[in-house]
Amino acid sequence: MDGKKLRKRKWLFPAAVLVLIIAAVIVDYILELRLPVPFSMIPLAAAGGYVTVSAIGAAAALKKITAGMLVVLALIGCIFVGEYLSGAIVAFMMIFGEFLEDLTMEKTRGAVGELLSLVPRTCRKQEDGVWKEVSIREARPGDLIRVIPGERIPVDGVIVKGSASLNEASITGESIPADKTAGDRVFVGSLSENGAIEIKTEKIGSDTLLGKIVSTVHDAQENKGRAQRTADTFAAFFLPAIVFICVLVWIFTGDIIRVMSVLVIACPCALVLATPTAVIAAVGNAAKRGILIKGGTAIEAMAKITVICMDKTGTLTEGKPKVTDFTVFGGISREEAAYVLAAAEQSSQHPVGRAVMEYLRTEGLLPEELPQGEFEVLFGRGVKMCREDCVLLVCNGAGLLEAGISDEEALSYLEEREEEGQTAMIISENGRAFGGVSVSDTLRKNSRNVVRELKDTGCSRIVMLTGDNKKTAESICRKTGIKEFHAGLLPQEKLEFLKGLQEKGERVMMIGDGINDAPALAAADVGVAMGAAGTDVAVEAADMALMSDCIELLPAGMALCRRTYRIILENIIVFAFIVNIAGITLSSMGFLNPVAAALIHNASSIFVVMNSSRLLAWRPRKGGRTEYAWRKEDSSGDHQAPESPDRL
């Protein structure tokens, strides 16, 4: 059943009850007809029966007495004193309030529906050498899928043939189409703007990146922060407390109407809704723009951050270094040094290693055949390959010191290149330096603005942590406006630095690429992974994951979390505690009857949901770079596709 039909059906029952209540007012109070049974008992039986069954069902499912039982007690009291119309109106207000809450909650879940609508119903699958259009449910890992211009990618996989320009805004939030060719990864929901490609399927359904985004949004309500856990605990003790207050009111006043009014207004519905409605709205807003936020715990932690720690490579810089110099020592030929360099770096997946191999390939220095051996990553220092009695090493100054190499020409080369703010490494075989290679990464053009806007969110202390040399770190910090940095750190040392801050009472956020920094991301109060699309490690380790490398989304995501936390506090303090306490006091004093109590109670719940739903349309402040990044998704092109809410 689609959303429109569901909403239409939900309208029917409260509308019917309202008609019966109006008829009861006319029959019993205007015409004053004397019937065998007061007409007011009909809407009371219909609405009261529904509320009673719902409350008992909820209590049975949870195996405990719920707050809804307070309303049941109030309805019993109305019947006892003959206030049938009041009881009907109380029950109607509960039903109508529930309808409005469901309607608004459905709106907050609209982000999930939009994401699901991006999944194609069918795909072109190769069977026995022939392309056949089949249901997406028939796709399996390993299948070959063909996508033509104008179609959306139906699976996560790798292109094996062809090239295309893909709009990945639904996944990464990046509106500029990405050119993809053989060997590149693609994600379900991406739109092919031109070019035909053949994809080898890796993941389908809920295992895809889009499936994980949807799952994160669904799970957001279950991942509760401390504020929600406190509210849940309070609600558990609320019922006995209210019953005790009702007993006191009865003892001191003997007025059953006052007791019923207390029972009606005291239901902690607003308290129960305060956090999950805000969390779902915020997570849904962010998910549409390529940001995954893992529920209330992450949002609350983000709102309390006092120190931001940032990796350099892939975070402040593009993470796409290029070789700026290749020098040989002691009469060694460039070909011989290139052979050792390529042999050591051939298995490296680090951006520096890939940049080196690309440089050798471009310069025609990459040997046709390379020796194989035992490859080892020296985290924060370089790489090493061992074969038989030969040790090939490409490393920085720390790696040279560890290996016991003290070649003056090599040390001079490192010092000269690092003074220029470059990352320099020495090429050696069995302790003999063959040459040096230097690489330089490109600073993201908006890094300085991002650092400024992160400070504007309320966190003034930003620290850069990098395994690179001090000179390079100084150069990057000077360009971005970061005042504090720590260079030459191994992954374990980054972790120790974070723990040291936490021991001093700081709330720490760590921003990294999600792979090399996974330990630090997991240990931080909030871990943020950059460019996490297709990286399972990043999605698992981080509390917030930016699907693209668009760093401009970071301060906007942080501002959204802080705004969400403020709205949660507004919901709990204003609409839950203050309204309830004032309502209970006024009801006890006789200023509110059950009908007025029902109106105020449902109004507070509705205001909570409406207050939370504002987060669906939240945007960063006008004029900032983050506002531009946040709005890119809104102009990213066609996002419409046939609805398919059950395919993930």
Catalytic residues: 311
| Helix or strand holding residue 335 (H, E) | helix 334-345
Q: Which two tokens stand for residue 1?
A: 């059943």
For residue 276, what are the CA distances in angstroms to 253, 270, 273?
38, 11, 6
Amino acid of residue 212: K
Helix (H) or strand (E) holding 528: strand 526-529
Give the side-chain half-sphere CA count within 13 A for 411. 8
What is the C-alpha to C-alpha distance for residues 566 and 572, in angstroms, rounded to an integer? 10
CA distance 190 to 192: 7
Alpha-carbon distances, residue 47 vs 15, 78, 301 (angstroms): 11, 13, 42
Residues 295 and 459 sit within 8 Å (Cβ to Cβ): no
Instruction: Provide the CB-side half-sphere exposure for 158 (13 A, CA).
Output: 7
Phi-psi region of 128 (alpha: psi -120 to 50; beta: other; left: phi over 0): left
Rounded Cα distance, 208 and 202, in Å: 9
Report helix, strand or coil for 180: strand
- Give the residue among 171, 175, 180, 174 at the shortest CA–CA distance from 149: 180
Report the DSSP pairing between strands 122-127 and 144-147. Answer: antiparallel
- What is the number of alpha carbons within 13 Å of residue 604 lying toward its C-beta? 30
> Residue 622 gets which letter from DSSP?
T
Give the span between the Cα atoms of 246 and 70, in whole angstroms: 10
**Three-class DSSP category at 48:** helix
Q: Cβ of 296: how many Cβ atoms within 10 Å?
A: 28
At 9 the three-state DSSP class reads: helix
**DSSP classification of residue 118:** T
